[in-house]
Structure 1
Amino acid sequence: MGIKDRLSFAAGCVALLLCAVNVAYAADAPSGGTPAAIPGTVLAEKYDTGGQGSAYNVASVNGTDNGYRPDGVDLQTTTATGGGNDMGWTAAGQWFKYTVNVATAGTYIVTFEVAAESAVSDAFHVSNSTGTNLSGPVAVPDTGGWQDWVTVTATVTLPAGTQTLTIDQDNGGWNIYSAAFVAATSSEAPYGGTPAPVPGTVDASNYDTGGQGIAYIVTSVNGTADSYRSDGVDLEVASDTTGGYDLGWTSAGQWFRYTVDVATAGVYNVTFRVAAPTAVTDGLHISNSSGTDLSGSVNIPETGGWGDWADVTATVTLPAGEQVLTVNQDNAGWNVNYLEFVPVETGGEEPYGGTPVVIPGTVLAENYDTGGQGAGYNVASVNGSDNSYRSDGVDLETTSAPGGGNDLGWTASGQWFKYSISVADAGKYTVSFEVAAPNAVTDAFHLSNSSGTNLTGSINVPATGGYQAWTTVTATVTLPAGEQVLTLNQDNGGWNIDDFAFSTGSGVTAGNVFAPFEYLGDLNDANQLPGILSGSGAKAVILAFLVPQSNECDLAWGGVNGALPDDTLGSTSVGTEIAALQAKGITVAISSGGAGGQDGSAYCSTAAETQALYQSVIDQYHVTWLDFDLENPQTSGQPARRAQALAALQKANPGLVISYTLPLGTGGLNNGDNGTTDLADAKSAGLNLNIVNGMAMDFGNEGADQATEAEEGTAAEEQQVKAAGLTSTIGITVLPGTSDDDPPVYFTLANATTVLNWAKANSYVTLLSFWELNRDNGGCPGSTTDEDTCSGVSQSNYEFSSIFDVF
């Protein structure tokens, strides 16, 4: 039967598969009569002749461009570079045979040009005439569409001579255009003939020789600067300062091998010089010749672009001697220029930057000690998206915290980081940790000393709203003087930390404290604050006042034209200056209310609204002490509403100190609002009112000794606090110099010394204060009126401060 007759017969069968499968040649034969040469390229359309069951097996006859050959099935016009037809309509169990002639027995790399709308695992394999699987399963990636072409590779070992190979379709959903066979080099060798020394730098372009399947595996051959080496793939001229060539076109499943010679067995930090336009999670890992993962998953940060370079670091443990390391590409989207191996001197821990952090002061989380894994830190895996800050950086990322820089994340149970500090004076310190977490974490971490003693107890991290929504939690530690190492132990994961600041704290948690008031409304610019505190020598300050604007549930600073978060006073943000004070170890408290204003509870309709308002203050300024100066008539239910809000606020912010500053007479606090009623409501709400601070001023008794009246009023106040069932300590706030009584009454320098000595003799007094720092100078001696800017008595600058400083 001639060709026309066979075609006529086939057409007569219409679309019956039964007819189609019986259209067969006498025997299987190569397409075109000549076996395809190997090495060489076999086109998918040139499967053998012989028809169904002989040259191929298909479940159905498809194809949209079968004019190429009379027995064509599953062929279509292709957009692949070579043109012609590709084979599609793949399905599990189908197969196509190809007769080939292998010039030389050996191992061959087969590069298949394929396309798929979605990834297909175990798509196909190559077998010989006995049915032996030569290639193992070959996966087809998601290429973007049926005509979007990429290459995938496999390795086969073939005898010499004419033979039949079968492409077995194990799962459907992909197209194939061709299979190119290239002889594999017989053995792997280091590039240049000499292993790269470790410690040292290994250029990514100097992967081993041996070719595809031996020195590297790539799914496609790319590169724009392959003249560097004859078997170069995926190389381009590097824009890095070091020059040379980088390796790009990364893709999941690709790998490159490097022969190295390790001088000394041990732990090494490996710094990868990488670039990526977007961050890549689990970008790569290093394995040894047995396939063991040495580095763990290494994340690639967003560097800004393919030519913008940054460092990421992992840790590997290597034996001594010559060995092969493999850089495995686990996810695509990054370039690498080199790998630098530096030994980790275990036991050689040192403070970051060479100098321990001075305490009081702030320890930045990213400045953990040097020494690497097992010495400066212990981590289960190396993460981080902004490790350019330091060569051995792990778990660091760019932070949105006010101080900027990096925070430390990827917390996990059992991890730890060490920090070298130098403590100026032995004693008790308040530690304020700046933390963030999307969900609350119980027993998140603790600080320990070099002997492993838990100094802080378990510290909980509240839900802050996200990994970059920051708040402060506090703890108390007792430290000896001198240089020492503290360990930040991660007991449970799920939180970030930016820094932890050590201060002598509020008197409630760390002994007695002198904390004068400073009224921001008296300042032209917030940048005056550091100079004032420096001159006074005070280690704590109460900034006044936050008050609602226009009878709204909001808060604003005096002198600032707008409610929080607006806080620019003059040229400077109040927050910037608060952060600067805190960095110097100065405790900052924020006071609401005052003689001319209310606290937020006056205009917030519920306790929850009031709580949220003051949480925003904590979040903006990272303070651990809020004061409420209560002097004005209060609205109905306000004392109870405020107490309920503050009790909930304390629960959400462990360690938060709350103080009430209240008018004081010689007989103690007022009976009622702005006095004993506020104490009763605090008790009822379960508020831990840490300090009840009496305003020991304006007693109105002409000729009376101001120190004596302050002592009498404070003693009576302490009894009232006890009677209310509270455990609050007591504060004394005086008015240095002239009071606003007529005739004038003076609180003198001698009175200050008397009150200091009395406070030191009565342990229930933990706070000394005065109104305000701007008055602490002799700029108006003899004045008979209450001044905001001077005391009215003869004194040197900050002389009242110098007396109370010793408290």
Structure 2
Amino acid sequence: MVTQSISKKLLLLAGICLLALQACQKDNEFRNAKPVQEVGLNSYDFLSQQQGLYDTLLYLLRKTGLDEQVKKEAVTFFVPQDFSIFAAMDNLNYNRKQRGQQPNWTLDSIPAAVWDTLLSRYLVKGIINSDSVDLADGVTLNTLAGHAMNARTVHVNASGIEDGGPILIQYNDMNDSRFIRDWVPATTQTADLKTQNGEIHVLDTKHIFGFNSFIRLALPQIPYKGEPRAIPGVIELADYDLGGEGLAYHDNDVSNNGNQYRGESVDLEVSSEGDYDVGWTAPGEWISYTVNVAETGDYLAVVRIASPNGGRNFHLEVDGVDVTGSMEVPNTGNYQSYTNVSRVIHLTKGKHILKFFEDTGAYNATKMTFTKLAEPLPAPYSGTPAAIPGTFEAADYDKGGEGIAYHDDNPANTGPGVYRTDEGVDIENASEGGHDIGWTVAGEWLIYTVNVAETGTYKVETRVASPGDAGRFHIEFDGVNQTGTLIVPNTGGYQNWTGVTATVELTAGRHVMRFFLENSGYNLHNFIFTKQ
């Protein structure tokens, strides 16, 4: 009897283990399976039956007329939940309060065209399921309005099993950029629901409607102190526009690291010059300003900037167009030793959006000054642009003065007074004949207006001399560094000349060439351009 009892117990235990094993197998099988569901309704009617979860979304679809497409057309709908829309409205009213406006906007306060633009970003023509975007870099999708989005699958962990959960989709607003750092992601909560006319993927409740474009489109950008910044005039960088993240500025973190002046994400602190500076700068950040230009013409744009690092960059944009090209930040010794970085730009009369864009970080900036030029500058020294192909002296840099035609570390011509003695560029007689530029300092630069005879590849030979071997420079055309860093060899002395060569691609016509000194300790004589 005991033996029989033990046998029954063993059989029972074996049966339990078998059932447990089968359950584990089914559980694992379920976790790795992609959920596929089909409903016998069109996409709109299915959302209508979800017990009030999408009432606000459906109202907006009707308001914009997009409901007909969701009902009848073959579209894939990345569905934002009502929670997402409520969060976006809360953010909008918070921004209104920050502006001193009543935080009382409702759905109907926002133009239907704005809702249409943003809702269209969730609607893609055709049937897009998770299989069709299961690529490492995802797939670029065009929405009903032609806006580029990206979708790719993500595999969720579950119960300690890596990639053991459901397969979801990450849906990214590409923000008109090919760089992933500029994209704004949203992840689905469920995916691959097939309706009569399309496909539905429901986005997570954490997603905020409109990605990062809702406030920018719904709430007009306005000047910080009520009136556009005047040009000509001085613009304090801390007085960027009202509108918040993604509209008036973009900052990589949510806190004001300097904890001064304004309670937003732009990092502000008190500067050594008595105003506020923008610090903790990082690549891709930007701040914008509504400006009013009094008169069409050429303006000298001067930015006060400081950095203990060389080789940093920024540029200025007007209405989304780069108007300066890359502007280099010299090593000023520390973050509170300020210098001027300048460029001549052309502006048209009227209201514009000016943007200070940080191509790299690790510098501080305090203000921008815009001065109207009486005549177009810089201008060729001899009256006509230097010819390419051809040879021209470095000392024949353009007319226009400090900050326009050149930048020199001190206002006096340190040379023996042989040429252009009323300016700051340091000139002396050269042993090869003509004049050379000496007493060079890192961060100095010279401008030359040139005329290229025909489009093609050119060899540029720069005649230099140095008793050391650490000299570095580069040459830009229209704000673009075409040579990369070039090295000055040890020639045995400041009057023992040699040629440093590079090739550049130039188009026919008039251009602005800039010689930029990346460090000190060499002399510069002339440039020789030869068509290849």
TM-score w.r.t. length of structure 1 = 0.32
TM-score w.r.t. length of structure 2 = 0.45
Larger radius of gyration: 1
